[in-house]
Amino acid sequence: MPAALRILSLCAALVALGCASRPIGDVKLERGSAGRALNDLAVAQKGAAAVAVISTDVGRGLAFVVDPDGYLITNRHVIEDADHIEDVTFPALRPQRSFAAVRIVYIDPSRDLALIKLDVDAPLPSLSLATVGSAPIEDYLKAKDHVLLLARAGEGEGESKEQPGFVARTGSVRELAVYNPAVGPGAFFGLSQAVRRGQSGGPVLDRYGRVVGVVSWTWKHRVGGYAIPIAEAAQMLSELPSMTTPAEQSARAAERARGFLKALDGGDLEIARRMMSPTYSRKIRQRTMTTIAEQLPGDGRAAVQQFVAALEDIVDSEPDGAEELPFSKVQDVVLRTGTRGFMEALGVEGALSKEQVISFFFEFAQAYVGARYFAESDPDDAMNAAMMRLQTVDAARTFAFAEATGRFKRGDRLVVERLEIVPGAYAPHAVVTLRNGDAEGRQPTTLVMQMRLEWGDWYVAELQTAGG
């Protein structure tokens, strides 16, 4: 057989086995073969070479290479709340490689996923995926399938902190569909292996060495952990907006602005909240928390103690073994924090809007009651959990969203009238003029919405009344 025909035959055979690549924008994903199972050592060695440790100013997590040119997938929560990424290191490579030049390409606003890019001067070892499309999980994974996780050596119990590289933990798939809206949409799959802090963002590898999932979360007092199906990561990559030209940036900004207004108009407040700018949200959160913290050494302490006591009453009144958070009871207590009497007792009347106060205590209460209710934490640990929650970008978005929506009037039907992209020193921003075009004879409402280009997409920052 001529050489050219042999090469064509080999390519056809590889495609039939599932070894095919798929470019999604600049990222080229490789779909691995299910033709030959590997032993655990081979899977671990192959996987470890492509797994990196992400160190940030707030913690550590894992990521894995999906494109040799330096593209890695990790969890959103590994990098979302950090002010900066300190470095990305590959402990299993010899010599070890470490990168300080890291770019956040995209953070998924709903899934617990993110894509980062390293500035590499040579190809990195990469991992193939079980699917490079939006396939159902049953197409590449079954309950009780053998899977392998990697953990940084020295971070488990009884392991030396001087150990280099990774340790492999073998186990199986416990269940294919577990839902936890607090972490993200869609179904997660359960793992028999214990998942510890620091493993977030790492790959779940099947017996063929392919990535079938991304380690995401664990449930206290339950054995094992949970992962995002790898098809969700492929779907995330397919949704990356292209903004290489000013025209593409402008079109995407207009699309996002209209999407924000549509979400508000349709009552999809969670979608709208996730479209708030991370940078701006942190700024609003800091202002709100500083204003409240200034009152705690004085009269404000009694108001907070009263609020926590009301939450404790809710926890004490619930029957043992209850499966759901008593949200309606918590909500009633939270809404009372927006009353004039409570705000005066707290010492923030005139300094903060009621929406800002409610947003603070809403985030605090959700975390506090959740820790007391599900994790069986004592009050001190629940208080720590609540304070940690307030430091997250997700909580900060609640603060910013409360401030932004305070600008809207009931019945407003705002539309995008004009959009201008303004170049910036670090990134452009968009100025969007909104106008109420209703036919009720009222004075038209005009708002100016600022948008920031962050994490690979446009996000809503502040809303201002035109001319005010």
Closest-CA residue to 363 (of 402, 309, 324, 322): 402
- Cα–Cα distance, 314 to 230 (Å, whole number): 39
pLDDT digits (tens, 9 = 90+) for 440-462: 555 666 889 999 999 999 999 98
Rounded mean pLDDT, 263-290: 91
* Tokens at 284, concatenated: 């609003």
Distance CA 383, CA 389 (A): 10
Instruction: Give the pLDDT of residue 406.
Output: 75
What is the pLDDT at residue 221? 65
Arithmetic mean of pLDDT, 49-56:
96
Let me know: does 99 contact 118? Beta carbons within 8 Å.
yes
Q: Kindly report the average pLDDT of the chain as a whole number.
A: 87
Least confident of 135-144, 180-189, 265-274: 180-189
Residue with more model confidence, 369 or 51: 51
Nearest CA among 421, 409, 398, 420 for reference residue 446? 409
Alpha helices by DSSP H, listed for 74-218, are: 76-79
> Could you tell me the sign of the dihedral formed by the alpha carbons of 323, 328, 333, 334, in that order?
positive
Highest-confidence segment of 14-23, 251-260, 427-436: 251-260
More confident residue, 159 or 111: 111
User: φ and ψ at 61, to 5 degrees?
Assistant: -155, -175
**Residue 32 DSSP symbol:** P
- Length, in residues, of the chain: 468
Q: What pLDDT band is residue 411 in, cutting at 50, 70 and 90?
A: low
Q: How confident is the model at residue 328 (pLDDT cuts 50, 70, 90)?
A: confident
Q: Cβ distance 109 to 274 under 8 Å?
A: yes
CA distances from 318 to 313, 315, 339 (A): 9, 6, 26
Query: Is it the case that residue 267 has pLDDT exceeding 90?
Result: no
Q: Give ∠ CA 350-353-358 in degrees, rounded to 5.
A: 130
Mean pLDDT is lowest, of 19-28, 91-100, 231-240, 328-337, for 19-28
Say what the pLDDT of residue 464 is.
82
Confidence check: pLDDT of 7 > 50: no
The SS3 assignment for 293 reads helix
